[in-house]
């Protein structure tokens, strides 16, 4: 019986890193999207998303805004000023080939905080890795944003 308990504990220990790695892969995919946005790289943005991906936001007045992957990539790619989106304390749920990431974020344009909120990102695992199928977020005006726990953005 003691050998069975030791074997069970060993097996449980071996299974945990695989789950943690999947969480890390999901977070890394979303971070790659933020990095592509900062680089204003429309091609990279497109490559991280499924063809039918949607980006949907809601403002405090309950106004919804929606765009396709192509519209979003084009808009970010055409931006003239530096963009920075940061997340912290992401929570990841994975079931089979589907994942959801939920994290507070802040968004900076030209080094200035423009808004904050919560991102909810849905991803699917494909032969090419995790792909984003939807980005859903609320927009809170900058004056109502609490200071970010990751500190101020790096100076440029």
The answer to whether position 74 is within a domain reads: yes
Say if 11 falls within a structural domain.
Answer: no
- The mean pLDDT of 129-139, rounded to a whole number, is 98
The model's pTM is: 0.86
CA distances from 102 to 35, 121, 144, 150 (A): 18, 7, 20, 17
Structural domain tally of the chain? Answer: 1
User: Would you call 10 exposed, middle or buried from its count of C-beta atoms within 10 A (0-12, 13-18, 19+)?
Assistant: exposed
Query: pLDDT tens-digit profile of 19-28?
Result: 556 899 999 9
Q: Is residue 120 in a domain?
A: yes
Tell me, yes or no, whether 8 lies in a domain: no
* Averaged pLDDT, 71-82: 97
119 in a structural domain: yes
User: Domain for residue 153, yes or no?
Assistant: no
Confidence at residue 20, expressed as pLDDT on a 0 to 100 scale:
58
Residue 73 resides in a domain: yes
* Residue 67 within a domain: yes
- The CATH number covering residue 26 comes to 3.10.450.50
pLDDT tier for residue 14 given thresholds of 50, 70 and 90: very low
Q: What is the pLDDT of residues 79-88, one digit of tens each?
A: 999 999 999 9
**What does the mean pLDDT of the chain come to?**
89
pLDDT reading at 40 higher than 80: yes
The angle at the Cα of 111, spanning 123 to 36, to the nearest 5 degrees, equals 30
Q: Please give the residue range of the domain that contains residue 31.
A: 20-144
Q: What is the pLDDT of residue 12?
A: 40
Q: How far apart are CA 44 and CA 85, in angstroms?
A: 16
- Reported as a pLDDT band with limits 50, 70 and 90, residue 126 is very high
Beta 49-59 vs 129-141: how paired, if at all? parallel
Percent of the chain scoring above 70 in pLDDT = 86
User: DSSP 3-state helix, strand, coil percentages of the chain (rounded to 5)?
Assistant: 35, 40, 20
| Dihedral of alpha carbons 141, 148, 82, 64, sign | negative
């Amino acid at each position: 019986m003691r050998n069975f308990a030791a074997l069970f504990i060993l097996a449980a220990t071996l299974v945990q890193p695989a789950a943690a790695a999947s969480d890390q892969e999901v977070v890394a995919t979303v971070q790659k999207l933020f990095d592509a946005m900062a680089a204003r790289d429309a091609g990279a943005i497109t490559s991280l998303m499924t063809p039918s991906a949607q980006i949907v936001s809601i403002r405090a007045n309950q106004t919804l805004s929606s765009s396709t992957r192509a519209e979003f990539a084009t808009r970010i790619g055409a931006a003239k000023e530096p963009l920075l989106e940061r997340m912290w304390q992401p929570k990841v749920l994975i079931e089979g080939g589907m994942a959801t990431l939920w994290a507070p974020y802040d968004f900076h344009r030209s080094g200035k905080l423009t808004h904050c909120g919560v991102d909810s990102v849905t991803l699917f695992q494909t032969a090419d890795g995790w792909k984003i199928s939807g980005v859903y977020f609320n927009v809170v005006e900058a004056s109502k944003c609490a200071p970010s726990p990751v500190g101020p953005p790096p100076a440029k």
